[in-house]
Each structure stands twice: as structure tokens, then as C-alpha cells.
Structure 1
């Protein structure tokens, strides 16, 4: 299952956006209003929970400054990645898009598609305010 957020324009350089997204504690600032729990577990891992959803642990898997940050599920039960792609449009503006890629059976995909789409859209929209 592949889902994409809308592309958002952020009034910061791509390096500034990259630096923000590589500090896992910063994800608390861009979480949707439905966030019930957020906990930094290490410099590259955090746990969060949204209303009506299980706790999820995300871990940084890959970073390519200043254009890509890849987070992945720390558990193999629900294998997925969340990739932030950043592209500088000028020195002080960066176009950013979040891409969710997961391997789920058809029933699970049907149940989680809308909540995950809403989640990555909210993250992207909240990135505009960093």
C-alpha cells in the first residue's frame, strides 16, 4: 500500500527541514490533534499513539541530507516506511511530501488506509508551521 501526502511548501531551506526531521523529538510538534501519547525512546526512535490506534514505534532507517529522511516501523508485525522527500524551490523554501509504503493484507489495508492518509496529510500540513 502506497499513500502520499499533498506536497507542502515550507518557508525554510531544505537543510533546515532535514535537520528538523532528523531529530525524532520534533515529530511531537507535527503530530495531529488526535495524538494521545508521544515518547522519545532514543536519538533515532520514538513511540506515538493516536486515538483509537495502537502504539507505534518509528525508527530512523535512512537519511540523505538534505533531501530524504526515512522512518520505519521498529516492529516486523506491521512493516512500513514513512519517507519525507524534500526539494528546495529556492534558498528559503522547500517543497516536502510524505510517502507511506506498507505491506498489508487486503483486509488490513482497507481498514487502515483512511486513518493513515489522514495522519500523513496532517503531518505534512503541520510541517508548514515549523
Structure 2
């Protein structure tokens, strides 16, 4: 299953955005308002939203100034969430989120709508940075 967030333009350089996403504490700033748990532990963070199980994301990959990829800590639900950062101008960048997961068809059907809403909310909040 692949979910692509809306590309958003941010008035920050690629390097500023890369550094923002590299600090996992900053992910709390782009989470949905109704988040009820957020804890950073080294290269991972745990978050909880109402009606969903808590999810731990681990920093999987960093490509300086263009990509940060997070992945599920649990192998039960393997997925990644990548933030791709493109330069528009010196202090203007474009960010697009891409969620990729391997789920059975029944699970994919159940979680596609809430995950799409989650990725869209993250994208929207990145646009407000």
C-alpha cells in the first residue's frame, strides 16, 4: 500500500528542513492536534492517537538535505514514512511525504482511510512551519 501526501511548499531551505526532521522531537510539532502520547527515545519515537494502537517509528535512513525515512519498529506491520525535501529556491523548499506498507488486503482496507488522513494532516502541518 502506498499513500502519497500532498506536496507542500515551506519558506525554509532544504538544510533547515532536513535538520528539523533529523531532530525527532520536532515530529511532535507536526502531529495531529488530538495526539495523546509522544515520547522520543534515541533514534525512535512513540506516538498514540485516539482509537489507534501506539506506534513506534525508528529513524531508518537519512540522505543529507533531501530525505528522512522513518520505519516501523515492529516487524508485524512493516512500513516506512519518508519525507522527501526538494529545493525550489535558496529559502524555499517542497516537502512530500510517502507512506509505504506491506499489509494483507483486509488490513489495508481497514487502515487506508485513517492513514491517508494522518499523512494529509502531517503534510498540512509541515506547510505551516
Q: Which residue does the alignment assign to 1:101?
A: 100
Q: Which residue does the alignment assign to 2:77?
A: 78
Deviations 1:76-124 (A, max 9, x none): 0110000000101000111100000000000000000011111111111
Taking structure 2 as the reference length, the TM-score comes to: 0.98
Q: Which residue does the alignment assign to 1:58?
A: 57
Correspondences of 1:42-57 after superposition (within 5 Å): 42=42, 44-57=43-56
Is the partner of 1:72 in helix, strand or coil? strand
Where in structure 2 are there 5+ consecutive unaligned residues? none
Correspondences of 1:1-130 after superposition (within 5 Å): 1-42=1-42, 44-130=43-129
Is the partner of 2:69 in helix, strand or coil? strand
Where in structure 1 are there 5+ consecutive unaligned residues? none
Alpha-carbon distance in structure 1 between the residues aligned to 2:34 and 2:110: 18
Shift of 1:128: 1.7
Taking structure 1 as the reference length, the TM-score comes to: 0.97
Shift of 1:41: 1.4
Pairwise CA RMSD of aligned residues?
0.6
How many pairs align? 129
Shift of 1:31: 0.2
The runs of at least 4 aligned residues of structure 1 exceeding 4 Å deviation read: none
